Structure 1
Amino acid sequence: MLNMAVLLSGSGRTLDNFHERIQAGTLAGSIQVVVSNVASALGLDKARRYGYPAFVAADSEQTNAILAAYQIDIVCLAGYLKLYVPPPHLQRRVVNIHPSLIPLFCGAGFYGDRVHRAVRQRGCLVSGCTVHFADEAYDQGPIIVQKCVGLGLEDTVKEIAAKVFAAECEAFPEALNLVDEKGIDYFWERVHR
């Protein structure tokens, strides 16, 4: 079972998903702490209601000071809209979810509806999400799980976002369970970097 830190910037929908699956016994994890870079993030309120310690931290240094008080196996970026730089003992232990099939529509500036808008403008008939390990460059770490979704010719940005988020709700827990099963090094060693 993975001891998880969850970093978020917004509503906490991914935190909801984690919490529900942990309660159902389908996610091999335990949330130790939740940190947001946004003091008004709804996800912080949800974390407190669920009984998780919840904090605000402006940057990686403050975040790492908070995480130091907890036994953390993995840091989950759950809609966290800043580049997170972990302390040495957590390098290679940061997992992110991105709302496209990497290497498409990714990198600095590509997040949320910006991704879905670009997918729609390009006329893509498929999109999806990618769960990957995060490193010092946006969306470059080893891929753990990808899920594909079909798109309709007339799908709006909002409809694309809904389809991709439904896939994210399956992909992120699946990826964490795989990491728990296979170990972190497996994913870093399977790619040639």
Structure 2
Amino acid sequence: MPVAVLVSGSGTTLQNLLNEQRHETLPIEIRFVLSSRPDAFALERARRAGIRTAVLDPRRHAGPADYGRAIIDTLAPCGPRLILMAGFLPLWHIPPDWLGRVLNIHPSLLPAFGGKGMYGDRVHRAVLRYGCRVTGCTVHMADNIYDHGPVLVQRVVWVLDGDRVETLRARVFREECIAYPQAIRLLAEGRVVMDGRRARLVPPAHARSQPAAPACEPPPR
């Protein structure tokens, strides 16, 4: 399945996906990596892997709807079937024909500790301050509200006495490295059926197969 990845930072989630692709443990072909920031190290990870990249600064667009159109227009020549948000921070409006084909991963058990401004270590710090006994990660279908779309996969992490942001982050990320590939496989195998905002999983025997995708086209001049 051809995919595009949206990034804003160091690209640890992107690297996990690249590793899965290299070892052929995930049925994806990462064709494009788009960043909201020119200094994101994720861009270097993509270039080392021979993947096309681009930068789209949200400040150069009129708002989330305009930014969303620019994102889709930039990715379109490579024909992705799925867009994976991997630490992508700006809000963008997903066109109606792309709803259900954009995934996001968040380092908490949504809807707890989600929303605007809640990302990365801010989430883990808030979990520790609140005194939670469990946290985790969530993979969900993205919509036009921060951390709001239907949940596909969640994995739980115990918060231990003496945990710091660094130790909690490391354990949550280990679960993220399992959860995101799991969610992608479910979609690639056609095993997700929506019932309102609830994602129901069907057995593999009833899954819809995915047709072959054309090769990546050159960008328009």
- 2:188 equivalent to 1:189: no
TM-score, structure 2 normalization: 0.81
* CA-CA distance at 1:84 after TM superposition: 2.4
Residue correspondence of structure 1 range 84-103 to structure 2 within 5 A: 84-103=92-111
- Equivalent position of 2:176 in the other structure: 168
Determine whether 1:125 maps to 2:133.
yes
Task: Please tell me the root mean square deviation across aligned C-alpha atoms, in Å.
Answer: 1.6
Task: For residue 191 of structure 1, report the CA deviation from its aligned partner.
Answer: 3.2
Query: For the Cα contact (< 8 Å) 1:9–1:43, is it kept in 2?
Result: yes
SS at 2:105's partner residue? strand
User: What aligned pairs does 1:137-148 form with structure 2 within 5 A after superposition?
Assistant: 137-148=145-156
> Which residue of structure 1 aligns with residue 18 of structure 2?
19
Q: For the Cα contact (< 8 Å) 2:153–2:182, is it kept in 1?
A: yes
State the Cα distance separating 1:80 from its structure 2 match. 0.4
My pick for the range that moved more, 174-183 or 14-23, is: 174-183
Q: Equivalent residues in 2 for 1:51-62 (5 A)?
A: 51-59=50-58, 60=67, 61-62=69-70
* Match of residue 42 from structure 1: 41
Q: Which runs of 5+ in 2 are unaligned?
A: 59-66, 200-221
Question: What 5-or-longer segments of structure 1 have no aligned partner?
Answer: none
Provide the C-alpha distance between the structure 2 equivalents of 1:94 and 1:149, rounded to a whole number of angstroms: 25
Letter in 1 for 2:8: S
**Higher CA-based Rg:** 2
Q: Which runs of 4+ in 1 moved over 3 A?
A: 190-193
CA contact (8 A) 2:151 2:198 kept: no
Helix, strand or coil at the partner of 1:33: strand
1:95 offset after TM fit, Å? 0.2
User: 1: distance between equivalents of 2:83 and 2:119?
Assistant: 19
Does structure 1 retain, via aligned residues, the 8 Å contact 2:108–2:123? yes
* Equivalent residue number for residue 66 of structure 1: 74
Contact 1:125 1:153 in 2 (8 A): no
Amino acid at match of 2:50: G
Higher helix share: 1
Query: Per-residue deviation at 1:183?
Result: 4.8
Equivalents in 2 of 1:192, 1:86: separation in Å? 19
